[in-house]
Amino acid sequence: MSKSRSFRDYHYDHSDILLAVVILIIAAALIVWRINIIMAYPSTLGQKAGTTVTTEQNATTSDNTAAKESTRSSGTNKATWTDDKLAEEFTLTVEGSSADKKIQCLIDAGLFTSSVDFKSVCKSYGLNAASIKAGTYTFSQGMTKEDIAKDVIK
């Protein structure tokens, strides 16, 4: 009888641990199996909302000599930049019901490269990017991204 009692004691003592290990293995297998879908979920949300989701690594720009030269954004009615300042006066109508749509107006106009770019400029100057105001703005020659952010958030 002592042999069966010792087996029952061993089984009783270790069954909870064994069950926990089995659950962890099943959870890990599900995560590994569905990792592509899990990682694509933010992009799926962005597509449903009509916005694009970029990683901060892709959204940041490097400071090289080419960035300091005069650049013109592609498309019609885009801002022209020279040495990180507006090369000419630029008028823009910011509209939208959400802050993301208003920020997208600035991006489409070539004033910022991404929403991460706009939000990082706002954060560095202690501004709340979510409080962007709709309206028509005229940005004068020589304004920087920081000046533009201050104007649209006032």
φ, ψ of residue 143 to 5 degrees: the values are -75, 145
Question: With pLDDT > 70 as the criterion, what percentage of the chain qualifies?
Answer: 75
Answer yes or no: is pLDDT of 70 > 50. Answer: no
Predicted local confidence at residue 27, as pLDDT = 95
Cα angle 97, 90, 87 (rounded to 5 degrees) comes to 135
Predicted local confidence at residue 60, as pLDDT = 43
pLDDT tens-digit map of 4-50 = 678 888 888 889 999 999 999 999 999 888 888 878 777 776 666 65
Cα angle 146, 152, 154 (rounded to 5 degrees) comes to 95
pLDDT tens-digit map of 103-126 = 888 888 888 888 888 899 889 888
92: Cβ contacts below 8 Å, ≥ 6 apart? 105, 106, 109, 111, 136, 137, 139
Predicted local confidence at residue 62, as pLDDT = 43
- Under the banding of pLDDT at 50, 70 and 90, the label for residue 95 is confident
Which one is predicted more confidently, 39 or 56?
Answer: 39
Write down the pTM of the prediction: 0.49
Answer yes or no: is pLDDT of 98 > 80. Answer: yes
DSSP-based helix, strand, coil % in the chain, nearest 5: 55, 10, 30
H or E stretch including 110? none
